[in-house]
Amino acid sequence: MQNNAMIDILAGDEPFPAYKKDLMLYGQLVGSWSVQSTWYDRNGEIKKKRGEWHFGWVLGGRGIQDVLFAEGATPDQYGTTLRCYDPALKIWHVSWMQPYGGEFVHLIGRKVGASIVQEGSGSDPARRERWTFRDITANSFLWLGEVSFDGGKTWFLEQEMRGTRME
């Protein structure tokens, strides 16, 4: 049987009380979601796939970590994001990793209107990333993954995910 001590220590039960209001920006996503993903390429090709996205409190409730995977993927193909709130700067530090796909992206997240907008870059410094959660309700959201190769002057929609709460 696997020793889950590290997972038990990492997991949190609720947002850290001193910053609860700010932590609920992403806290509203805590739980399990089924997702329908659509990828778009610049040649007009469209691919669709179903998957799951699970969010939970970590680090004493100061952060939220997720696990995202496509239907049929093996655990070595899963990706994870760690999001931690920085009360001094009033931003979120967001790091996505999917070693299987060679994806490592670091973003800054913040509330913009009713949306959560995350912007940053990965391994390719010419490629900017903008990931947005919008149309967020208790049971659904729309996530948009956009890229820019001109410093953010123009954006191309590369992926969208529609999430539906499983719980």
pLDDT tens digits for 14-25?
Answer: 999 999 999 999
Strands, E, within the chain: which ranges? Answer: 31-40, 46-58, 63-70, 79-86, 91-98, 103-112, 115-121, 128-134, 140-148, 156-165
Under the banding of pLDDT at 50, 70 and 90, the label for residue 2 is low
Range of the domain at 32: 5-165
pTM over 0.75: yes
Domains in the chain, number = 1
Under the banding of pLDDT at 50, 70 and 90, the label for residue 120 is very high
- Report the CATH number at residue 62: 2.40.128.20
